[in-house]
Amino acid sequence: MNDAIATGAGAATAPASGRVHGKPRGMRLGRLRPFVPVAVLLLLCIGITLIAPNFLTRGNFVRLGISAAIPMVLACGMTFVILLGSIDLSTEGIVAVSAVALSLLVKNLVNDDDFGLWALPAPILLGAALGCVNGAVHVRLRIPSMIASLGVGFACIGIATVVLGGITVRIADPLIRDIALTRVLGIPLSVWTALGCILIAWLIQTYTRLGRWAYVLGGGEDIAKLSGIPVGRVRVAVYTLAGFFYGVGGILCVAQFGQSQALIAQGYLFSVITAVVVGGTALTGGEGGILNTIVGVLLVTVLGNGMILVGVPPYAQVGVQGALIIVAVALSTDRSRVRMVK
């Protein structure tokens, strides 16, 4: 369901004055639109390098990879939801519950549990289950995705707070910490994990019916129904898949921070949605994908890293991200083919 914007069936034909060399100007701009994020990323890297030459160092590239790992995993799940033309605001809550579950199952300073690496499937399965609940609430109760996911997200944060009683659980399991600290070929395991999630998401998007059907639903739910696609089940499956990635994100949060608490994922939701949209996945659905998301996450991460290197205050960085998402939506939306609806 496109909650905010729907494609107009009767788009007006472009006037003759809008043609350049025999082709409509909108068509020419439409062909260039997918390359805008890549061009912006390259220009941003060049600009930061000119101001802060230490941007192009191996150590900084490793820091970029570490910073991008968690948003990249979460964005893999968010991409599929946005491809439907929906939105998922439960990300931070599901990540928090998954992280809390892992922290209480491995060696910690609160209880005597010590399942080690055997505990890793638990947060992933829990994240997928919560994603399934999220999708079921949206579909079965016919609640807009924004409201349904917002409610599920708040409920998850509440559960995490009650389970921990407001405390922070510190991790004492070296194997879990190694996920963030150990390096293979000079690259942290967390980055390799993110790359693995990208591969899984790309394979699902490209070679499975779920991935193809997500595009069809984003293009038009009525067309999907006429084609015999089980719309409700596809939506629930997509939210379940998103929850799977959020569960993996919970693991990376615990490994990277060495602790868990109810607000461990605070701030990631805005960054993830920004990255997906900036990469070129349209909020209207049916356009974009995982490759676009990779560019979007890199763009947001490089921008944040660059602002730190040049000394931009943290509060100003948030403002820049807000402006960035507005510009991205403006560039990625063909306003000649959409109309606003309630």
Q: Which helix (H) or strand (E) holds 327?
A: helix 314-332
Mean pLDDT estimate for the chain: 84
Q: Distance between CA atoms of 294 and 317, rounded to whole angstroms?
A: 21
pLDDT digits (tens, 9 = 90+) for 250-274: 999 999 999 999 999 988 998 899 8
Q: Distance between CA atoms of 241 and 129, rounded to whole angstroms?
A: 9
Residue 206 vs residues 74, 77, 239, 332: alpha-carbon distances, Å:
19, 15, 18, 22
User: What 3-state class would DSSP assign to 144?
Assistant: coil
Question: Across-strand partners of 92?
Answer: none
| pLDDT for the residue 28 | 57
| Confidence bin at 14 (pLDDT 50/70/90) | very low
Q: What count of other Cβ atoms lies within 10 Å of the Cβ of residue 342? A: 4
Dihedral of alpha carbons 307, 264, 173, 120, sign:
negative
Question: What mean pLDDT comes out for the span 135-164?
Answer: 93
Tell me, rounded to whole angstroms, the distance of Cα 31 from its chain centroid: 25
Residue type at 224 in one-letter notation: A
pLDDT digits (tens, 9 = 90+) for 169-201: 999 889 999 998 889 888 899 999 999 999 999
Phi-psi region of 48 (alpha: psi -120 to 50; beta: other; left: phi over 0): alpha
pLDDT digits (tens, 9 = 90+) for 275-298: 898 888 888 888 889 999 999 999
Does the pLDDT at position 208 exceed 70?
Answer: yes
Using an 8 Å Cβ cutoff, are 141 and 1 in contact? no
Does the pLDDT at position 217 exceed 60?
Answer: yes
> And the tokens for 203?
């394979």
Does the pLDDT at position 243 exceed 50?
Answer: yes
Question: Across-strand partners of 5?
Answer: 340
pTM of the model: 0.86
Dihedral (Cα; 292, 298, 299, 305), 10-degree rounding: 170
Using an 8 Å Cβ cutoff, are 237 and 86 in contact? no
Does the pLDDT at position 130 exceed 70?
Answer: yes
Q: Distance between CA atoms of 72 and 75, rounded to whole angstroms?
A: 5
Using an 8 Å Cβ cutoff, are 54 and 309 in contact? yes
Q: Distance between CA atoms of 90 and 156, rounded to whole angstroms?
A: 8
| pLDDT for the residue 200 | 96
